[in-house]
């Protein structure tokens, strides 16, 4: 099955997952490339996105699998699709023989913490100490309501840097699936455990997704 890698940036971060699926499907139609449809009473285009993003999160590394009605030059497909897609959604490459999704294991993301009045004193050290604890329980929304989880077993690596006087950058490698750790839960932990370090605004950006060997997932 063919696979595409694409980015979602700029104002496109506010497009929901369902609207992103619709935008991609329309992009194929506008580009004159027909997606194969499933069989049955309610056929739908064969197109699926791995690890859907939360609204407001940008990404340089999104993966989608699709099937076409007829053979197409995959090397030329990104340019055709990009001419038909909304600004902020860019197809970077299309290729065959991608890795099985079950081998997708890690996700690298960056949280940019912005403080209007400047980064609080010792905030970076306090955040490093927080994630160095033996355990760190955070409440998240589950299918059956709020649940409490220890996020540290799902946090493989992290770093905290201060690019300027008003910004901290928290870069983390977390478990992408089985189990899954949403990088935004790191912010939830900071806000709950270190209220003085709560940022005024936060941006979340997915840098890369990786396989079990920490190589870029393809």
Task: Give the CATH number, domain containing residue 85.
Answer: 3.30.70.580
157 inside domain: yes
Is 34 inside any structural domain? yes
Confidence (pLDDT) at 38: 87
- Residue 117 and residue 91 share a domain: no
Cα atoms in the 13 Å half-sphere on the side-chain side of 126: 16
pLDDT number for residue 210: 97
| Residue at 217 is within a domain | no
Q: Categorize the per-residue pLDDT at 140 as very low, low, confident or very high, splitting at 50, 70 and 90.
A: confident
Pair 53, 113 in one domain: no
pLDDT digits (tens, 9 = 90+) for 29-50: 999 999 999 888 888 899 999 9
- Do 80 and 107 lie in one domain? The reply is no
Of the pLDDT bands very low, low, confident and very high (cuts 50, 70, 90), residue 175 is very high
- How many other CB atoms are found less than 10 A from the CB of residue 94? 21
In this prediction the pTM is 0.92
Provide the number of structural domains found in the chain: 2
Residue 82 to residue 180: CA distance in whole angstroms: 31
Between CA 178 and CA 75 the distance in angstroms is 33
Same domain (yes/no): 127, 78 = no
Residue range of the domain that includes 47: 3-98
Are 27 and 13 contained in the same domain?
yes
- Cα–Cα distance measured from residue 168 to residue 124, given in angstroms and rounded to the nearest whole number: 7
């Amino acid at each position: 099955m063919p696979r595409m890698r694409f980015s979602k940036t700029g104002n496109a971060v506010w497009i929901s997952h369902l609207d992103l699926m619709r935008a991609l499907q329309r992009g194929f139609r506008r580009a004159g490339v027909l997606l194969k449809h499933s069989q049955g009473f309610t056929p739908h285009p064969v197109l699926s996105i791995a690890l859907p993003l939360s609204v407001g999160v940008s990404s340089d590394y999104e993966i989608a699998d699709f099937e076409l009605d007829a053979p197409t030059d995959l090397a030329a497909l990104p340019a055709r699709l990009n001419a038909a897609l909304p600004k902020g959604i860019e197809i970077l490459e299309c290729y065959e023989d991608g890795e099985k999704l079950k081998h997708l294991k890690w996700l690298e993301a960056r949280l940019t913490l912005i403080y209007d009045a400047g980064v609080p004193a010792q905030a970076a050290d306090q955040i490093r100490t927080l994630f160095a604890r033996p355990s760190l329980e955070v409440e998240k929304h589950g299918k059956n309501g709020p649940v409490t989880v220890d996020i540290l077993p799902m946090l493989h690596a992290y770093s905290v840097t201060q690019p300027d006087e008003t910004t901290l950058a928290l870069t983390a490698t977390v478990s992408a699936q089985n189990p899954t750790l949403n990088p935004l839960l790191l912010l939830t932990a900071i806000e709950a455990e270190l209220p003085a370090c709560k940022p005024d605004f936060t941006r979340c950006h997915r840098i890369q997704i990786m396989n079990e060997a920490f190589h870029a997932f393809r």
